[in-house]
Amino acid sequence: MDFLNKYASQIVGITRIVTGLLFLEHGTSKLLGFPMPASGNTVALMSFPGGASGAIELVAGALIVLGLFSRWAAFIASGEMAVAYFMAHFARGPFPILNGGDGAVLYCFIFLTLAAIGPGAFALNKK
């Protein structure tokens, strides 16, 4: 698919923005109840693991969308998703499609990829 090579930076940038927005939405849902509370109600910022994960999703998601320190934010978000998979999903079985962890696995590896290759186009900084 050589014809896409000249658009690689833009495709990475759009992927970063869309993934970051989806991740940010998890944080706003948990902490702010927007667009609707996760699991029926919001969690306290100081609670664990809900508040901690919501804070990471909110801050890292915003940084990833903006492309501001996005490699570090993506690396932290990737780690959070790995922990989330093993804490919340793996106990229900090893197969992500059966234990509901497919989203966590995808986020983990998309963020790890962004941490490795950088933010692409449309980033406020290239870090």
pLDDT tens sequence across 76-122: 999 999 999 999 899 999 999 999 999 999 999 999 999 999 999 99
Task: Please check whether residue 126 lies inside any domain of the structure.
Answer: no
Give the per-residue pLDDT at 30.
Answer: 85
Task: Please check whether residue 122 lies inside any domain of the structure.
Answer: no
The token duo for 49 is: 């693991």
Reported as a pLDDT band with limits 50, 70 and 90, residue 29 is confident
pLDDT tens sequence across 33-62: 887 766 666 665 656 666 789 899 999 999
Q: Give the separation between CA 85 and CA 83, rounded to whole angstroms.
A: 5
Task: Please check whether residue 16 lies inside any domain of the structure.
Answer: yes
Q: Which residues of 26-63 are buried (b: 16+ CB within 10 A; e: fewer)?
A: bbbbbbeeeeeebeeebbeeeeeebbebbbbbbebbbb
Find the domain containing 35 and state its range: 2-117
* pTM value > 0.85: yes
Beta strands in 26-87 (DSSP E): none
Task: Please check whether residue 127 lies inside any domain of the structure.
Answer: no
Q: Give the separation between CA 52 and CA 76, rounded to whole angstroms.
A: 12
Give the per-residue pLDDT at 103.
Answer: 95
Task: Please check whether residue 26 lies inside any domain of the structure.
Answer: yes
Give the per-residue pLDDT at 77.
Answer: 98
Q: How many domains does the chain have?
A: 1
The number of angstroms, rounded, from the C-alpha of 83 to the middle of its chain's C-alpha atoms is 13
Report the phi/psi class of residue 60: left, alpha or beta, with left for phi > 0 and alpha for psi in -120 to 50.
Answer: alpha
Q: What are phi and psi of 122, to 5 degrees?
A: 70, 20
Q: State the average pLDDT over residues 5-10.
A: 96
Give the per-residue pLDDT at 24.
Answer: 97
